[in-house]
Amino acid sequence: MPQFQLFSLLCVSLCLSYMVTGCHSFERGSNESETTMVSCDFCHTTIHGKYFTAEDGRNVCLRCRNSLPACKSCGLPVTKGIEQNGRVFCQECIAKAERCDFCAAYLFGEYYKIGGQLVCAGCKKNLPRCSRCNRPLQEYLLVASYKLCFTCAHEVDHCAVCQLPLLERYFEFPNDNRKFCKTCSSERNRCDICTLPLGTLHHRLRDGRTMCAQCMQQAVKTPAMAQKALRQVFDYLEGKLTLHIRPGTQLQIVDARTLARLRQSIRGHGDQDRRALGLFLRKGDKFDVYVESFLPYSLCVAVLAHEYTHAWQADRFPQNTSQLWVEGLAEWVAYETLLHYGYDKQASLIARQQDVYGQGLRKVQAVEQKYGKSQVIAKVMEMVGAKGKR
Ligand SMILES: [Zn+2]
Ligand SMILES: [Zn+2]
Ligand SMILES: [Zn+2]
Ligand SMILES: [Zn+2]
Ligand SMILES: [Zn+2]
Ligand SMILES: [Zn+2]
Ligand SMILES: [Zn+2]
């Protein structure tokens, strides 16, 4: 909040009250000073009779005192001066006075200092204010109903979607450094991938999904990109974790509608998989992994790692294995794959989950804590009674 400072020119009003009450120390009779000739500093004539002496030593005859207007600041007669808002001020006071930075009025009596600028009472009352710093404004930027000074317009954050300045509460989402206004975060349609508010620049896919520009930019759009992601996943799963996945396991990139249909059609392993983004399907000896199209690259890597772990499990884990172990290990592999390739942000989203995936992941991580990373697969296999080799 801006600081208001009230300045008051107290000294001059004191001086004024001395004059008005005709304090005796300033009032002199001519008979006391008959030997010296005194002249009035205002009409420059010799004074006969009573006169006054101001603090600065100037003498005022009674005629000047009674006929000339008195300066509203110092109280002395005004021969040449200016009038401001119906009040008269002498040149001496004008020369010393500060001026309002907005209307250039001379500042007598109360005035204010707001944001380093001097403001007269009139400007303080009448000028529009900056919606952010409350400073009076002569020029401003009007954004929606907000008036902003140029400093604030430059400094303030803007909503990532509607670009309005964020002057009230704003919203942020995990793993995203953008800020959103209240309206955009509560009323806008969301991106089907990252679930963040959709901007005007977004994409609608043929299967009905809407994607934000950011997700689309990172999306796996070509078979070559999908192959690259799959190669990275295999390099880690087979190379580092020595998980041998059945050769011939097919990857199919499908749209969201196809994936939803497949999920509805199956009973058995994988049908409770909440991940609408990927699916492992076994039909006898035929292993298929389905992954939703247009996933951002790092998410695609995570889904591939998860589903290919299911393919590996399908040849080894007993049918009745707890979902906590099945999904937990698939998530752990996905999590480790992401970290291995430096996709820390995507990995932290996995760790944040509270459902069976998150719980399962923490169960496997407890095994990792106890036996070390290299022993995780072997220990989990042992615990679930897996058959065969890795
Ligand atoms: Zn005079
Ligand atoms: Zn004056
Ligand atoms: Zn002013
Ligand atoms: Zn401002
Ligand atoms: Zn907005
Ligand atoms: Zn998105
Ligand atoms: Zn799963």
More confident of the two residues 265 and 66 = 66
C-alpha distance from residue 30 to each of 51, 58, 68, 127 (Å) = 8, 16, 21, 53
Ligand 2 center from residue 81 Cα (angstroms): 9
Measured CA to CA, the distance from residue 250 to residue 237 in angstroms comes to: 16
By C-alpha distance, which of 332, 337, 378 is closest to 358? 332
Q: By the 8 A CB rule, do 12 and 93 touch?
A: yes
| Residue 19, pLDDT above cutoff 50 | no
Which alpha helices (DSSP H) does 315-343 contain, by range? 323-340
The three-class DSSP label of residue 366 is helix
Tens digit of pLDDT for each residue in 268-284? 544 455 557 999 998 88
Residue 251 falls in which region: left (phi positive, over 0), alpha (psi -120 to 50) or beta: beta
Domain layout of the chain by residue ranges: 4-97, 170-218, 223-384
The three-class DSSP label of residue 149 is coil
Ligand 4 center from residue 119 Cα (angstroms): 15
Cβ of 369: how many Cβ atoms within 10 Å? 11
pLDDT at site 193: 86
pLDDT at site 210: 93
Tens digit of pLDDT for each residue in 158-184? 898 888 888 888 898 877 888 999 888
pTM: 0.66
Which ligand minimizes its atom distance to the CA of 50?
A: 1
Which ligand minimizes its atom distance to the CA of 95?
A: 2
Tens digit of pLDDT for each residue in 229-239? 999 999 999 99
Ligand 6 center from residue 281 Cα (angstroms): 27
Q: By the 8 A CB rule, do 75 and 16 touch?
A: yes
